[in-house]
Chain A
Amino acid sequence: MSAGENMSRRDELEALLPFYLNGTLEGDDLEAVEEWLASDPEAAVALAEADAEFAGAVAANEALRPPADALSRFSKALEAEAVPARSQAGKSWLANVWERIAGLPAGLAWATAAAAVMLLVVQTALDTGRQGGDFEIAGEQGGVGAMPFAFVKFRPEAEMADISAFLMENGAAIAGGPTAGGVFRIAIPAKTAADYDRLVGLIAAQPFAETVSEGRKPSNGG
């Protein structure tokens, strides 16, 4: 033991007695205290004093009473707390789904993404509907399934939040996929070939897009 320079061996042993009493002493320190207690009658007196101090310290602490409503107030504060970074407070549920997918190996991630696709279709379509959009979810007459589309492969590091925001902003939606190669079918809200080309070009320019290929395109020249 190498305590303060002004402490004698006896002083050091006195300083260790509280830790002997609270059961945390071990190794050489424990051995030294036990040896002292066994060989020196004064050690037993010192131990009794430490025991009295123990009681005094406990009584002094327990005299302080926490407020009875502490837990209920804490619970309210806790409920007001955002869920920390582990679940990305502030991001949409779509972003969270995407983030979980992104944490998987690339192949598995895209396969898993398929399960989220239809949710995304519904969410996107519903949100677009609220905004006065003119298409419906896949399967309904005149819905996403009937729209022009393009084939898009997203970059592995793409953020669902970015994709979701882009699609909603432009009235587009994931209409199917992914294929084994990770390609999604994106419904394009274009009535003319010119509109189609503009939107597909816009998708290709996004950082989340890896490859974009033309699919069903409006036939008129717009």
Chain B
Amino acid sequence: MTNDTDRDLVGRVAKGDRAAVRLLFMRHHARVYRFVARQTGSEAMADDIANEVFLELWRQAPRFEGRSEVSTWLLGIARFKALSHLRKKSEAWIDDDDAAAIADSADTPEVTVMKENKAAALRRMVDALPEEHRTVVDLAYYHGKSVSEIGEILSIPVATVKTRMFYARKKLGEALKAAGHDRGWP
């Protein structure tokens, strides 16, 4: 059973197998949760939305056509739901803990990384990227998605994916250089 592929499991979900959707939850929940948390800046919202994504999987499995990876499909659902929630909720929805988790804009990234090593600095720099740039970075590096899969998840052309990745990497290089770290950027 645990050797079933994601597509096998979705097929079982489509037939009403609740155990199969729990297996998919175990496989993909953490990534969906993190994706939404970084989209919305709110772990509380991510918790709600990630649950909704898998309930949506339960409801929509019969309509899954298998044209994309299941993980890509789930992230696409997550992206849509995150945007919908953000439209509905005001900034005030984000609680204090969540707000504290968002990068503090009072300090420039350059200042905050002065005493950090390059690895820690890069992590903070990635966090501090504008959302549209950070998302393509996360989807490529953390989620392992291709250019076309990112385009599918974000509903943007592949050329835009490449452009966003270019500017994301450029900003990372500039920020690191300003913080005193060498980078092989031209």
Task: Report whether B169 and A53 are in contact in the complex, using a CB–CB cutoff of 8 Å.
Answer: yes
Cβ-defined partner of B119 (8 Å) among A1, A55, A67, A75: A55
Task: Give the segment of B2-10, B43-51, B77-85 that binds chain A.
Answer: B43-51
- In B20-53, the 8 Å CB interface with A consists of 21-22, 25-26, 29-30, 33-34, 37-38, 43, 46-47, 50-51
B14 within 8 A of A: yes
Q: Say how far B138's CB is from chain A's closest CB, in angstroms.
A: 6
Alpha-carbon distance between A64 and B42 when the two chains are bound, in angstroms = 11
Cβ-defined partner of A64 (8 Å) among B37, B51, B125, B165? B37
| A15 B184 Cβ-Cβ under 8 A | no
Main DSSP-derived SS at the A contact region: helix
For residue A63, which residues in chain B have a CB less than 8 angstroms away from its CB? 123
The bracket for how many chain A residues form the interface is 35 or more
Given A42-B186, A61-B138, answer yes or no on A67-B126 (Cβ-Cβ < 8 Å).
Answer: no
Selected contact of B22 from candidates A21, A49, A71, A86, CB within 8 Å: A71
Say which residue of A11, A79, A83 sits within 8 Å of B166 (CB atoms).
A11
A50 to B50, CA, bound (A): 29
Q: Is the CB of A24 within 8 A of B58?
A: no
Can you show 23 pairs from A to B with CB atoms below 8 A apart?
Answer: A11-B166, A15-B163, A15-B165, A17-B169, A23-B144, A24-B147, A42-B184, A52-B118, A53-B137, A53-B172, A56-B119, A56-B122, A56-B123, A59-B119, A60-B124, A60-B126, A61-B142, A70-B29, A78-B18, A78-B22, A84-B16, A84-B59, A86-B14
Binding site for B on A (CB under 8 A): 1-4, 7, 10-12, 14-19, 21-25, 29, 42, 45-46, 48-50, 52-64, 66-67, 70-71, 73-75, 77-79, 81, 83-87
